[in-house]
Amino acid sequence: MEINIIWQQCLSLLKDQLGEQVYNTWIAGLKVQFENDKFQVIASNRLVHDFIKNKYWDKINQVLEVLSHGVASELISAKNTSKSTITGESNHIEAAPKENIKPSPTRTRTKNNAIDKEILESLQSATKLNNNYTFDTLVKGNSNQLAYAIGLHVTQQPGNRNHNPLFVYGGVGLGKTHLMQAIGNTIYKNNPKAKIRYLHANDYIQDVVKASMRQGFDELKKYYNSLDLLLMDDIQFIAGDKTKTQEEFFYTFNTLLDKGKQVIMTCDTYPKNINNLNERLISRFASGLTVEIQPPELEMRVAIIKCKAEQSKINLDDDVAFYIAQNIKSNVRELEGALNKVLYQAQFSGKGISLHVAKEALMDILAIESRNVSIDEIQKAICDFYKIRISDLLSAKRTQIIARPRQIAMTLSKELTQHSLPTIGNAFGGRDHTTVLHAQKTVNSLRKTDEKFDREYNLLIQMLNN
């Protein structure tokens, strides 16, 4: 590993642990050089040297030892330095040597495991990963099967061009963040020394804003460019941002990709559909692997509820799990919310968990959900919107001007009502269920390729839901 990288990692850990103020006052000004098989950390003068020796040296020494796999370090004062390579965060005097630093064979590791553990923990906290989000707790089903498999694959070969960047997209509460963090946690487990950082795009925007206020773009770049794995959540947020964010991100993104470092992003839509995003970024985002997570189907929703109950060590009967899953369809986050509501009600009422209690607990949520529109209403709304007649909508006519609204109405009927495909087909002039399926496919692929169409469709949903 290069001295620069080890030192940067060390600094960023110290910053996290000691706080910004201490860090800026005492640590940021330190420099480091590699001499006689040792790290020499250089304090600018005797006073600083003595103070650091007393208060922070043990910590710095431990962190350096772990990060470098056992290379020894010493703290010296500036007047004792020779003229070899010196590197410091705020002040680069000369580039650090490119060769690998190997642990000195003569040095035996004296620090005990407890110290290593503490440092490893602090390395983990610098990743900002939530260690509850793992592959073990992520239920696999049709809707996320591909994303799950690709995610696992990325953990085995992070940085591989075939999946770099990895772009995961899908609706709210479908497990994008969970999957992304599961990848991060696994990579961290395989290699605790990898410099990993999870962050929400909004935090990145904040970092860029802060950097621009203190003219600190070099520092910002240096930090992000030194990562081995960057996990950026909800990337759509940088699209709306008018500051330098997109430009900075483009730079970091390219640097990491060029170095073969893995970048993973999540988004609420696929790259081409992100509004207000720089064309260069759009094409870069799509240059690796793009994978979608879809809403879970019934079977998977049941599995998720059971998994969550199991995690909380709660025994849940199938009929209760099934009842919740059948009624809460929108996303996993709401599914979790509904389960919690049932559990709370069971405890609060002292009745224990039963189907009856579940019904009671979810009554108000379901009252809202069951304000479902009817197929009839959907047909009327579509005819109003596209200025066509109901009789035409239900007729055998296949001209585009009629057929497209019909397909949209069928798709909306499937999405917004509980009716089966055959029932819907029937309601549209006695059509076959495969026609409804075909309509759904056509509409969904149009939504992906035609932004205007997608907006129109969403508008119709909103109108119908009100």
Q: Which residue is nearest to ligand ADP (CB)?
A: 175
Site string for ligand ADP, 251-280 (x = CB under 6 A): ------------------------------
Pair 42, 31: CB distance under 8 Å: yes
Regarding 336 and contact with ligand ADP (CB under 6 A), the answer is: yes
333 binds, among Mg ion, ligand ADP, none (CB under 5 to 8 A by kind): ligand ADP
Which range touches Mg ion (CB under 5 A), out of 176-184, 201-209, 270-278, 283-291?
176-184
Pair 309, 339: CB distance under 8 Å: yes
Distance of CA 438 to the CA centre of its chain: 33
> Of 28 and 307, which CB lies nearer to ligand ADP in the complex structure?
307
Residue of 52, 174, 230, 394 that binds ligand ADP (CB under 6 A): 174
Q: Which amino acid is at 277?
A: L
Regarding 184 and contact with ligand ADP (CB under 6 A), the answer is: no
> Of 177 and 417, which CB lies nearer to Mg ion in the complex structure?
177
> Of 30 and 267, which CB lies nearer to Mg ion in the complex structure?
267
CA distances from 70 to 84, 103, 117, 310 (A): 22, 6, 14, 42
Residues across the chain? 466
Q: How far apart are CA 336 and CA 326, in angstroms?
A: 13
Preceding peptide of 165 cis, ω within 30°: yes
- Three-class SS of 321-355: HHHHHHHCCCCHHHHHHHHHHHHHHHHHHCCCCCH
Residue of 12, 177, 269, 345 that binds Mg ion (CB under 5 A): 177
178 binds, among ligand ADP, Mg ion, none (CB under 5 to 8 A by kind): ligand ADP
Binding residues for ligand ADP, total number by CB under 6 A: 16
Regarding 166 and contact with ligand ADP (CB under 6 A), the answer is: no
Q: How far apart are CA 254 and CA 225, in angstroms?
A: 9
Residue of 41, 194, 304, 325 that binds ligand ADP (CB under 6 A): 304
Q: Which residue has the tokens 């919107």?
A: 385
332 binds, among Mg ion, ligand ADP, none (CB under 5 to 8 A by kind): ligand ADP
Between strands 196-200 and 72-77, the pairing is unpaired
Q: How far is the CB of 325 from ligand ADP (least distance, A)?
A: 12
> Of 267 and 410, which CB lies nearer to Mg ion in the complex structure?
267
Which range touches Mg ion (CB under 5 A), out of 32-40, 43-51, 170-178, 395-403?
170-178
Cross-sheet strand order for the sheet of 72-77: 72-77, 38-43, 31-35, 87-88
Q: How far is the CB of 128 from Mg ion (least distance, A)?
A: 14
Structure tokens belonging to residue 18? 């000691």
Regarding 172 and contact with ligand ADP (CB under 6 A), the answer is: yes
342 binds, among ligand ADP, Mg ion, none (CB under 5 to 8 A by kind): none
Residue of 49, 59, 176, 301 that binds ligand ADP (CB under 6 A): 176
> Of 30 and 239, which CB lies nearer to Mg ion in the complex structure?
239
Q: How far is the CB of 228 from Mg ion (least distance, A)?
A: 22
Regarding 333 and contact with ligand ADP (CB under 6 A), the answer is: yes
Residue of 163, 178, 406, 431 that binds ligand ADP (CB under 6 A): 178
Buried b (16+ CB within 10 A) or exposed e, 419-436: bebeebbbbbeebeeebb
Pair 287, 165: CB distance under 8 Å: yes
Q: How far apart are CA 313 and CA 303, in angstroms?
A: 15
Structure tokens belonging to residue 317? 């009967």
Sites of contact with Mg ion (CB under 5 A): 177
Sites of contact with ligand ADP (CB under 6 A): 138-139, 144, 170, 172-178, 304, 307, 332-333, 336
